[in-house]
Each structure stands twice: as structure tokens, then as C-alpha cells.
A and B are shown apart, each in its own frame.
Chain A
């Protein structure tokens, strides 16, 4: 019983035992909480950014794969047309040989002429074997024409014996059988040719038609094919530029400020004067005259980062970036006081500034920004052109030294990390002039951005949105265009 009594007495006394901790303990606790929250937010932001980039990368990759297939098709088509052009040249040579042979037939004895012709035919046949099926069709057409012409030639005036006629008829029979063999292949390939012709018609200039028949003269036909090929090559190159992902370095410098209204960037926002409804002085005494909040003035700001660009159509492109953003605004404050103050927001601060406008103070904000921009080319020229761009970004506030206005003690400025919005959205727009060389392009132009969220949480501080306006410079590195 006595044992319990002792413990009970001790317990009772110790339960009543209280000690007042120093203010430093709470400040450290608060600081630690803020740091941990910040770490969590940074982690969240990084994970979110990585996920965003991965999704964007996946989307771009998918788009690239489909575009590559189109390029390959165009290149195949271009190759076929080139082959046909070569074939035309060969056919032209054959035509010359044929004409020559006919002339020779008319003058010389048939044996010799036939030998020469058969040698030529053999050479043509060898060449034809080396060419693709399309070529063979073209050669077949040529040979058919040639044979028709030869059969139609009466050989009047030439001296021929029966043996020669037999040889000729054998040769003709062989040629005819060869024609029959190839004609079946020709029919099979006809559908392909029709398709090719459709594609060519679609991509070639309207006044160009490609005929397999030799009714058009060789030179004009060749020109038309050349035009068609160059048209395809142009489209192919254009497709390459569409599918290419380029990256760039972005730098922007200008001025920023925090305004009450996001769309007005006029110098010096004068906040409202408050009535004397101060919760009290720092030391708890009665309140007196209320100093109004200082005007917010523009200050130097800049942005720097990297961008990944992806052409999404002939005139437009999408870019995703990751950049550091420094924004600031200037206010007028009084002298710094290093004494504790209990604010209306239940913060305990160890130092504050009076709100009497005596000294200039720069509120500095350091952000990580993840912008997504859409860029649209206004002018037609692809080398030097103007474009307008617009987009949005997610900003994460890394750190700040900014002061917040409070009506305590007739108006003071204080710094407290929890008074600022950490993650916010931005709207960005701008105009760019693009120019440059083979491997890189420069884009320079004005940029304008503003916050869509309140940067300062406190209702007592009239400042709300960050506005930034400046000159933006982008260096875009492009892959070698020779390919």
C-alpha cells in the first residue's frame, strides 16, 4: 500500500509539472515541417514532371513511327520512278539501235543485220533481267513496238533467201513467246502501276501526267517524271522535318511584378489604405495609424532552360521544356525590427519590417517551370518566318525571401514560407521571329506570362499574380538536313 502511495504521489506531482519551452523550439519545429513538406512537394513535382515527359515521349514516339512508314512509302515510290526513268533512257537507246538496225536491214544483207539485231536484243534482254519487274514491263512495251514495226516493215528492195526468212520467222516466234511469258507478269504489275500512277498524279503538279505509252516525246516525258520525283522528294523532306524532334536552349530576360489583377502590368500598384482595424501592435498594445501597403514595382527577371520541340503539322509545333525561372518585385519597406511578433495569422516571427516606405526591398522568387507551348507559323517562308506561341506551365516555388504585408501593429512586412503558393499554373504567350543556319535556328521575340493562381496566400496582402514580360531567345538544334 505504501509502495503505491509513493508512486501515486510522484505521479501526481509529475503530472502537474510543466515547463515553458523557449520560442526557438516552435520555430525549429515549424521550419522542419516546412522543409519536409517542401521535400515532398519537390519529389511530387519531379515525379509528375518525369511522368509528363514520359507520356509526351511515348506520344511523340508513336507519332514518329507512323510518320516513318509514310516516308518509307514515299521513298519506295521515288525509287520506282527513278528506275522507270532509267528504263526510259535504256528504252531510248534501244529505239536508236532499232532504227539503226532497220536502216541497216534496208541496205545490207539480212543475215548480218539479223545478227547485229539479235546481239542487241540479247544485250537488252540481259539488261532487262537486271532491272526490276517494272522495268521489264517497260522493256516489253518497247520490244513489242519494235517487233510490230519490224514485222510491218516490208523489206522491199532487199535481197532475202528462204533460209533468212525462216531464221527471221524463228526469231519472231521466240520473241512472241517471250512476249506471252512476260505479258502475264505485266498484267500482274498493271495494278501496281495504276496505284503508282495515282500517287504520282496526286503529288505531281496538276499539268503533269505520266503515260506508259510512247505517244509523248521522250524529252517532255522525262521532264515530267523529273518534276514528279522532285515533288516526291520535297514532300519526303517535308515529312522528315515533320517527324524530327529537335531540342533547344531557351533564355529569356525581362521584368516581373506582382499585381492585384493578372492582366494589368502598369507600373506601381498602389494598395488600398486600410482603416484602423489592426489587431494590435507587436507588443500587444493598442493600434494606431495604419500604414498602407507599399506599391509593387517591376524588377529584373529571367528564365533559362531546355526545350524539346516536335513538329505536329506543316506550320505548327509543340514544345515541352524544363526551366529555371527567377521572378522578382520591388517594394518599399521600413527598417528591420528583430523582435518577436504574433501576427494575425498566428505566426510567430522573429523579425519584421515596418511598412513605412523608406528602403527598397526586392522580393526574389526562384521557380522550376515545366512549360508546354504550341507554336504556329504565320508566314509562308520556312527559313525566315514569324510565329505566335501560347501555352501553359506548372511552376514550383523552390525558395523566396519575399515579404508579406500584415495589418498587425499599424502595418508590417514579414517573411514566412507558408505564406506563398508553392505550385501554380502560368499562362504564356509570345511572338517569335525564326531564322538561322543548317544545324540550328534562332527564335527571338517578346514573351508574356502571368500566374493563374495567387502567389501570396494572405488576404491582407493585396498582391496576387505574377506578371512577366521580356525578350525570349531560343536556340533550336536540328539534325542534319542532308539526310
Chain B
């Protein structure tokens, strides 16, 4: 797909081009939004808000880097703003400074589907969830996460370690249960 032409057409306000851009990225971006929220409806709200931002800030995209990464960054920022704005998330987004939790070297074999993994991530407390998504999946450093969430990089590290530990334990349990389930059959 010729992104340059697509962007130019979108900037001209052509509805067909806008629709094409949306169709191209919507599914991937909903996957991103899904991981940051607790419900599909919230994820779709974030997606909608994110795409509106994309279309109105498209002139800021200077064809430097991949369009998908640019759209993804907007989605992540929108999701974080949504978490901060929505009291259901905000009230649970506490980032208490913790002692650094030793990161385990456990490497559970992930035998579950992407959707199941995403659902497990969504079961993390909102604070952990956001930091885990930002660091493990989006690849932001703890310093960057600290700036994005208004916390120290140390807090981000400790929260991440805790989130990772939780998730690994859940993955182990989930994998065991799944094996038992499949073995039972």
C-alpha cells in the first residue's frame, strides 16, 4: 500500500481515502486499545477517539518512519489519556513506590492464543496493565513511561516487575489448567 498517496488523499479530505486508512489499521489498533482497557466498548471508544486524532493530526505526519507506528503511538497516548480521564480506571491507577521485585527468570511456555494472553493482561490492575503494555509490548523505556504517567522511572520498574511476576504466575496456572482440560478430553 502506498501510504504517501493515502496520506495525501486523506489530507485532501477524501472520504474514501479516510475510510481506506481506517480499514487498514483499525483491527490492529483495536488490539492495542483492547490491552489497555477493561472492556471492548472502552477499547472501541479509545479507537474512535484515536482515529479522530489521526485524521486531524495527519498533516503532522511527515512521512518519516512507518505510518503504522505513528498511528500506534497516537492510540497508546489516547488510551493513557482515557485511563487518566475515566474515573473507573483513574481510581485504580495508583503507583505506590515499591521495592524492586526480583525479576524471575521463569520463561513460561506460552501455549495460549493471543486473545487469551491479551485477556490475561487486561486482568492486571490498571497501573500494572498500563506499565506492562508500555514496556513489554510497546517497548518504551522506564524513563519514558515515567514521563508519560507522571511517575519516577524507579516506580515504573518496580510496577513492571510486579506486573510481570503476576502475569507469569497466571500464565503458568492457565497453561496447567489448559493442559489438564485438553488432557481430560
Contacts and interface: CB of A to CB of B under 8 A. Distances in A.
A11 B44 contact: no
Given A11-B136, A11-B139, A22 B44 contact: yes
B118 A17 contact: yes
Contact of B107 (A5, A25, A30): A5
A37 B28 CA distance: 27
Contacts of B164: 6
Interface string A1-15: 011011101110110
Interface stretch (B29-37, B88-96, B149-157): B29-37
| B19, B35, B106 — most chain A CB neighbours (10 Å) | B19
A37 B13 contact: yes
Nearest to A347: B15
B55 A33 contact: yes
Interface in A18-75: 18-22, 24-26, 28-30, 32-33, 36-37
Interface of B: 13, 15-16, 18-20, 22, 26-28, 30-31, 34-35, 40, 43-44, 47-48, 51-52, 55-56, 103, 105-108, 110, 114-115, 117-118, 135-137, 139, 164, 168
A346 B51 CA distance: 18
Contacts of A19: 27, 30-31, 34, 40, 43
A36 B30 CA distance: 23
Contact of A28 (B20, B28, B48): B48
A30 B118 contact: no
Given A2-B105, A36-B56, A14 B19 contact: no
B63 to A, nearest CB: 22
Contacts of A299: none
Specify the main secondary structure of chain B where it touches its partner.
Answer: helix
Say whether chain A's binding surface is mostly helix, strand, loop, or mixed.
helix
A281 interface: no
Given A3-B105, A29-B52, A346-B16, A10 B137 contact: yes
B58 to A, nearest CB: 11
A6 B107 CA distance: 6
Question: Interface extent on A, as a size class?
Answer: 20 to 34
Given A13-B117, A14-B137, A346-B20, A21 B30 contact: yes
17 contacts: A3-B103, A6-B168, A7-B136, A11-B137, A13-B110, A14-B114, A16-B114, A17-B31, A21-B27, A22-B44, A28-B48, A30-B15, A30-B18, A33-B52, A33-B56, A36-B52, A346-B15
A21 B56 CA distance: 20
A9 B43 CA distance: 23
Contacts of A6: 106-108, 136, 164, 168
Given A3-B103, A21-B47, A10 B13 contact: no
A358 B110 CA distance: 61
Nearest to B110: A9
A106 B56 CA distance: 108
Given A6-B107, A6-B168, A346-B20, A14 B30 contact: no
